[in-house]
Every structure is written in structure tokens, then in C-alpha cells.
Amino acid sequence: MKTYEISRLIMKYRIGNPFETDAVLQKGRECDKENIEYFQIEETEGFRLSYRMTPQDIIWGLGENQKGMNKRGGVYVSYCTDDPNHTPDKKSLYGAHNFFVVDGEEKFGVFIDYPSKVTFDIGFTHSEFLDITVEGKDFDLYILKGTSLREIVQQFLSLIGESYCPPKWAFGYQQSRWSYMNAEEVEKIVDSFLYYDIPCDAVYLDIDYMEKFKDFTVDDASFPNFEGFVKKIKDKGFRLVPIIDAGVKIEKGYDVYEEGIEKNYFCVDEKGEAFVAAVWPGRVHFPDFLNPEARRWFGLKYKGLIDWGIEGFWNDMNEPAIFYTNKELHKAVEKAKEAQNQNLDIYSYFELRDAFVGLLNNLKDYQDFYHKSEGKLVNHDKLHNLYGYNMTRAAAEAFEEIQPDKRFLMFSRASYIGAHRYGGIWTGDNHSWWEHLLLNVKMMSSLNMCGFLYSGADTGGFGGDVNPQLMIRWMQFSLFTPLFRNHSAMGTRRQEPFAFDEGTLHILRNIIRLRYALIPYIYSEFMRALLNRDVYMAPLAFHYDDERSRRVEDQLLVGDALMITPIYEENAGGRYVWIPEEMLLWKAVDYKNRSYQIYKKGNAYLEADMQETPIFIRKNHIVLLGKHGSSVEELCHDELEAIAFVDSKATYVYYDDDGTTKEYKNRQYKEVLIEIEKIKNDFQITIINKGNDKLKKISFEILDIQGNMTKKIVEVS
Ligand code: MIG
């Protein structure tokens, strides 16, 4: 792995002898741990670090977590957990992202590189204290300095390395469901998108495509001639994206099982035998993704599906989730036997019930198995948070070997800092609740700060039944997230766009088309963030440092030019917004018919009917859009439109590349520099084209501060 000299602004303190997580790419300069700035350190059973916050301090970050953008007031436990009920009191979700920024008079970032449990008590127990409890004695602590939140985040993103880059088609709309059960059902979905003329790039295969939930198999009865089917669907303009689970089914004759046993690639119990747990396919072994050989072996298994034409995957259950283990199940069954014919009192009954309920993701199980690392056995619990990360790494490293120059779609449920180099993440089993739309809004910028640029939530909600308006409002938000996928659980209301009434369908179609029209901007901004170690979605605080703006938690900056103000309340005909400086509002019903309104700095009530997506364009900024198409590959970006809000001068660098290879890493991409300058009562437009030979023409709509519009068409050569 390439390593870099550590920046002067980053202090690294090594405590004990940490396990190498590979979260960080820059090695080098270590500072004296007797002189750690900002924190009081106390050695306990592990370590406790305390920082006294000022009342003004905002604590940003912590990636995939509950509560606000400002993490004050909560307790967060980094221990990757499969919990499908994301109620506000939950302390752990699927990721472990131990990076945060203290933003007050003192500004600094903190990263705890420790692969097991870390607890962040941020003004919960004591309103002024930020207490970090590390449950072990070996970890690296990084303190990052900078003069602004943005600068600190950029330092961190440089420290952990360039984010994974998906293929361009993965910026299209994607349709999922647990599960489309067979080829006919998948084809019906695909045909419905075509029939209703709704753009879509991918349809997902959840666990039922497999034979008895066995990884890398395809059920022949429900998907006969899979290779031919993949091709048929691709010819219609869609990709199929199958799921891969962490657990390998124990079954005689199943090659993945047999090879794993033969080569000792599975995690082992204390007796040295392959550890047994029960999860999706039933009794399974867990591949030891911490062992590089096992990682390579498992990763190369994806090749079978790739050879059949698959170009993307999602990795599930890799916390790893455990439904039960024999040992704990046995205890519960014994308890039940004892209870038989006894006159249980209420508490004993509760205990009996909990013995079964508690089997799911029982923390004790994580202490019962081991990984092989450099010849030694390491208890899983000690590096729990690295499991999903290394499953994704297994896939990514194999893709690199199988087809080095191709970008595959890959995202995972569990993750750790560093996993962002290998894939994106989705945020797991949310619900069709308005609260989870808001949580999605708040979480996106925190994920970006931890490197997970390609991310998104199950749009519409996974659990529970969505209603038309929640579906619409959620789509109006997700159209801006890089991963834009509608996914829902078995047994819930269908939530494909055409599963709703005609009026709703019409609105949803327009929203999805708007997404496709905005791809020149969305992709350009995403790639710019990726290449410059920056974020794609940010809190207002990234650009506006006044107190009012810094406190806004339900609006986001998307790329450099846009601010979005999602509507997340039922039956709302609009919402209150904070406008941090003069902005231009475009209420998008569809992307073709546009009307604009200038908003002055201040508080305002924004009206937005169900069919309207409000989009604010920042002052002296430009947004580019094209036409929609039925898929990303269908988009033809020879003619673009630009909407600009210009007081003095606005510039935009429009980025594009081939969308499929890694040539961008060799600076093989095309840029078009666009500059609009106000000169007296006119606007002068300059375009410098560096290699985009597709682009022929840009039609401008330029609004000045009074709201006067100037239209211009510029030929590009
Ligand atoms: O026990 O594969 O988060 O997206 O649809 C549930 C079935 C297992 C959990 C994932 C979800 C997926 C589901 N999986």
C-alpha cells in the first residue's frame, strides 16, 4: 500500500501496540503521548479521554450514527451492529466511524483508530464533557488541526485516502426490493420502467436469487440460464445487482464451504474448529477476511457472477450479523425446559422470553471466535469493526485483479474508516417514517466527512409501509444523494414508482427525470470531491460561519453551487428555511419548465407543493444540466443548459470522464471551464474546453441580483 508523509497539521499518538487496521494511509511522524493536546487522559480498564466543551462548541462527524449533525447530547457506541430498529435511543448502527470535529473557539479533528468498542459520550452524562472510552489499551489517536471545519475534514480525508469511485451508471436511479423472486418478476419490473417511461439503471437481486441463500450460486429454477438473463436485461438498458452475504452455508459439496474448510479460511472457535453461527442461509462459517489469503480467495469468488455479466454487488450481513449460535440457543432451550411445568413468576417469564430474544446479535458470540493474523489467533471481539470493511476490501481487491481498469459498483452495510477506499455504503434497515427521512438528511454530511462519498439510504424506507407523500418527499431528497436506490422489505407495501396512484407516479417520474437531468452537475461535483479530498454533501457550516448558519441541521449544501431544503413533514405545504446569503430559488416541477425567485438573506417560509422540489442556487454560482434519458448511458451531453445566479463573477469547472475506467486516476478526464462575468448590464461568458469533444453548446439562463434574466447560447469548440 502506498504511504505518504504525514501532514504537519496532524498529530499522531500511539498508545500501546495497536492492531494495524489500514484505516490510515499516511504513516510517519509520531508525537509524544505524554503531551496530548486538548484531552485529559486516564487509564482505566482501557482509556478514557475527556475534553471540556465550551457551550458554543459544535461536534460534527461520527459518520453513520443517530441524532443530529451536531452530535452533542448523545452517546454513540462504535460497534458494528445489525439492528433493524433505528429508534433514536439506539447507540450503534452498522458502521464504526470514529472521526469527529470540535468546532468552536478551538477547532480540531479527532480520529480514534481502534477496531473494537469505542464510546463517545458527548454532553450526555455531563453537559460540558466529551468523554471517549476506548475499551482497550492499544490504539492510535490522531488530532488534526486547521482553521476551519472544512480544512480539518480535508486533512482527514487526505489522511485516509481517496474514496472509492463507482461507475457512472451507478449515479442513475436504482430499484430494489426484498426480493424480486424470479426472472419473470425482475423482467416485469424492468418492463414497467420502460412502459411508464421512467429512467432507471439497475434492478437489485436480494437473497432469493441464490440457491438456498448460498453465496455465489444462482437458483436455477427461478433464474434459469442466468447468463442469458443478465444479457437480456442489459439489452433492455438495466444492470442486475446481486447481494452477497457474509456467512457461508455449511453444506457438503458446496464448493465455497469445502474449499474454505480445506484451506482453513474460516474464523475458528477456541478449539480451532471453524466457528458455527446461524444467519441467512442457516448454519454458516464466517470467512476470515482479516487473513489476506482468505480475503483473496473469497474475493475471487465474485468472478463467477462477473463472468455472467454482473457489474455490481452489495455486501450484506457483514457486521457480521448473527441470528443465533448453537451455544446460546442451547442455553435458551435448556432454560425453557426447566421452565416447563413450573409456575413462573413474571420476572422469570421475562427472563425466559429474553433468553430467546437475546439470541439475535448477542455480544457474547463475538467473543467466541477468532481470526488468524500474522500466524496468531486474535479474538473477533477485539477487531469486530474491521469485519465488514475487509469483506468489501476482499471484493475490491479481487475486482482489481479480475479487471484492473474497470469500475464496479460495490457497497456494503458494515464499515469502518478506510472502507471508503473499497466501496460505498448504504445505511441499512431504516423505516418508512418521516423521522428517518430527516435522519437521512442529517446523516449524509457526516458520512461524507468520513470518506463515504458514495452512500445513500433506502429511499422510501425499508421497513413498514410508505405512503405516497413520504415516497415523494424522500425521492425529492434522494435525487441528490450519489446512491439513489429505492429498497423495501418483504411484506411491506410495494414502493416502485408505478406501485402508486397515477398522480403520484407522475410526480415520481418527474423527480427521477430531474435526477437524470442533473447528472452533469451531480457527477461533476462528486468527482471533484473525490479528487480533491473534499465532501459532496455538507452542512451550511462548511461555507457560512455565522452562528445562525452553523446551527442549521435540515438543509444541506450539495456540491459547490446548490443548497437544498428538503421537506420532511407530513402534509406540509412548505417549510421554514434559513437563507445564509442571497440565493436563487428554482422550484423544480420538472426540469424543463423553470421559474425563479430571489431570496434575500434571512428566515423565510418556503412554499413547496407536493410536486415541487426546491433547489437553491448560491450567489455567483452555476449549475449545469442536460436532458433526461432512460439510463445514464443514454444521456447525451452534447448540449447542456446552465442556470447561473451572478452578482459579479461566477465560475464553474465541469468535469466528465469515460465513466467506466480508472483513467481518471491518470488525470484522463475532461474539464470545461465556464466563467460568467457581469460587465455593466451584460454578462460576458468565457468557455475554455479541455478535451470535452462531445460538448457543442451551452444555453445559459443568467439571473442577476434583481431577478432579471439574460439568455445566451454559446457554441463550444
Ligand atoms: O435479515 O437480504 O439490510 O437490505 O433486504 C435481513 C434481506 C437481511 C438485510 C438488509 C436488507 C436486505 C435483507 N437483509
Query: How far apart (Å, rounded) are the C-alpha atoms in residues 633 and 641?
Result: 19
- Whether the CB-CB separation of 434 and 569 falls below 8 Å is answered with yes
Question: Is 319 marked active-site?
Answer: yes
Count CB-CB contacts under 10 A for residue 1. Answer: 7
Ligand 1 atom, smallest distance to 489 CA = 5
Cα of 210 to ligand 1 centre, how many Å? 14
Cα of 361 to ligand 1 centre, how many Å? 14
Whether the predicted pLDDT of 275 surpasses 60 = yes
- The arithmetic mean of pLDDT across residues 166-172, rounded, is 98
C-beta of 426 in contact with ligand 1 (< 6 A): no
Q: Which amino acid is present at 270? A: E
- Whether the CB-CB separation of 562 and 538 falls below 8 Å is answered with no
Ligand 1 atom, smallest distance to 280 CA = 1
- Report the mean per-residue pLDDT for the chain: 97
Q: How many residues does the chain have?
A: 717
Q: Where are the alpha helices (DSSP H) in 664-704?
A: none
Whether the predicted pLDDT of 398 surpasses 60 = yes
Ligand 1 atom, smallest distance to 176 CA = 5
Task: Kindly report the protein residue whose alpha carbon is nearest to atom 12 of ligand 1.
Answer: 178
Q: Which amino acid is present at 712? A: K
C-beta of 93 in contact with ligand 1 (< 6 A): no
Position 6 scores a pLDDT of: 65
Whether the predicted pLDDT of 2 surpasses 90 = no
Burial of 421 (0-12, 13-18, 19+ CB in 10 A): buried
Position 28 scores a pLDDT of: 63
- Whether the CB-CB separation of 199 and 630 falls below 8 Å is answered with yes
Cα of 259 to ligand 1 centre, how many Å? 26
364: enclosing H helix or E strand: none
Cα of 281 to ligand 1 centre, how many Å? 12
Q: Which of 243, 313, 431, 486 maximizes ligand 1 atoms within 8 Å of its Cβ, making it the mutation to test the pocket?
A: 243
Q: In the β-sheet with 424-426, what is the strand arrangement from edge to edge?
A: 455-456, 424-426, 409-412, 312-316, 239-245, 202-205, 173-175, 484-486, 458-459
| pLDDT band, very low/low/confident/very high, at 26 (cuts 50, 70, 90) | confident
**Residue that has been written with the C-alpha cell 419473470 in this structure:** 184
Cα of 316 to ligand 1 centre, how many Å? 7
Ligand 1 atom, smallest distance to 462 CA = 4
- Whether the CB-CB separation of 671 and 692 falls below 8 Å is answered with yes
Task: Kindly report the protein residue whose alpha carbon is nearest to atom 13 of ligand 1.
Answer: 178
C-beta of 206 in contact with ligand 1 (< 6 A): yes
387-402 vs 292-307: helix crossing angle, rounded to 10: 60
> 3-class SS at 35?
helix
Position 187 scores a pLDDT of: 98
Whether the predicted pLDDT of 4 surpasses 80 = no
Ligand 1 atom, smallest distance to 206 CA = 2
C-beta of 496 in contact with ligand 1 (< 6 A): no
The sign of the dihedral angle between the CA atoms of 628, 632, 635, 639 is: positive
Task: Kindly report the protein residue whose alpha carbon is nearest to atom 5 of ligand 1.
Answer: 178
Cα of 428 to ligand 1 centre, how many Å? 8
C-beta of 612 in contact with ligand 1 (< 6 A): no
C-beta of 428 in contact with ligand 1 (< 6 A): yes
Query: How far apart (Å, rounded) are the C-alpha atoms in residues 156 and 7?
Result: 10
Query: How far apart (Å, rounded) are the C-alpha atoms in residues 341 and 378?
Result: 44
Ligand 1 atom, smallest distance to 207 CA = 2
Query: How far apart (Å, rounded) are the C-alpha atoms in residues 191 and 479?
Result: 22
Point out the catalytic residue in the list 22, 429, 525, 560. Answer: 429
Ligand 1 atom, smallest distance to 458 CA = 4
Residues whose CB is less than 8 angstroms from the CB of residue 547 and which lie 6 or more positions away in sequence, other chains included: none
If we measure between CA atoms, which residue out of 561, 565, 593 comes closest to residue 578?
565
Cα of 616 to ligand 1 centre, how many Å? 36
Point out the catalytic residue in the list 57, 316, 368, 612. Answer: 316
Strand partners, 423: none
Position 279 scores a pLDDT of: 97
Whether the predicted pLDDT of 5 surpasses 80 = no
Burial 217-242, CB ≥16 within 10 A → b, else e: bbbeebbeebeebbebbeeebbbbbb
Helix and strand numbers (H, E) in the chain are: 13, 43
Q: Which of 174, 316, 495 maximizes ligand 1 atoms within 8 Å of its Cβ, making it the mutation to test the pocket?
A: 316
C-beta of 463 in contact with ligand 1 (< 6 A): no
Whether the predicted pLDDT of 457 surpasses 70 = yes
Grid cell, residue 554, equals: 435540515
C-beta of 319 in contact with ligand 1 (< 6 A): no
Beta strand 409-412 with 312-316 is: parallel
Position 1 scores a pLDDT of: 42
Q: Where are the alpha helices (DSSP H) in 148-307?
A: 149-160, 183-195, 226-235, 255-263, 292-307
Cα of 497 to ligand 1 centre, how many Å? 21
C-beta of 97 in contact with ligand 1 (< 6 A): no
What tens digit of pLDDT does each residue of 651-710 get? 999 999 999 999 999 999 999 999 999 999 899 999 999 999 999 999 999 999 999 999
Point out the catalytic residue in the list 64, 131, 319, 560. Answer: 319
C-beta of 178 in contact with ligand 1 (< 6 A): yes
- Whether the CB-CB separation of 613 and 587 falls below 8 Å is answered with yes
Find how far residue 224's CA is from the centre of its chain. 33
Cα of 367 to ligand 1 centre, how many Å? 24
Task: Kindly report the protein residue whose alpha carbon is nearest to atom 1 of ligand 1.
Answer: 280
| pLDDT band, very low/low/confident/very high, at 8 (cuts 50, 70, 90) | confident
Query: How far apart (Å, rounded) are the C-alpha atoms in residues 689 and 672?
Result: 4
Burial of 644 (0-12, 13-18, 19+ CB in 10 A): buried
Strand partners, 699: 641, 713
If we measure between CA atoms, which residue out of 245, 244, 174, 242 comes closest to residue 205?
242
Ligand 1 atom, smallest distance to 245 CA = 2
Q: Which of 206, 318, 360 maximizes ligand 1 atoms within 8 Å of its Cβ, making it the mutation to test the pocket?
A: 206
- The larger pLDDT score, comparing residue 33 to residue 530, is at 530
Question: Is 374 marked active-site?
Answer: no
Ligand 1 atom, smallest distance to 314 CA = 4
Burial of 593 (0-12, 13-18, 19+ CB in 10 A): exposed
Query: How far apart (Å, rounded) are the C-alpha atoms in residues 401 and 295?
Result: 13
Question: Is 429 marked active-site?
Answer: yes
Grid cell, residue 447, equals: 458520512
- The arithmetic mean of pLDDT across residues 195-215, rounded, is 98
Q: Which of 429, 432, 495 maximizes ligand 1 atoms within 8 Å of its Cβ, making it the mutation to test the pocket?
A: 429
C-beta of 413 in contact with ligand 1 (< 6 A): yes
Cα of 84 to ligand 1 centre, how many Å? 9
| pLDDT band, very low/low/confident/very high, at 29 (cuts 50, 70, 90) | confident
Cα of 413 to ligand 1 centre, how many Å? 9
Whether the predicted pLDDT of 27 surpasses 80 = no
* Residue percentage of the chain with pLDDT more than 90: 96
Ligand 1 atom, smallest distance to 490 CA = 5
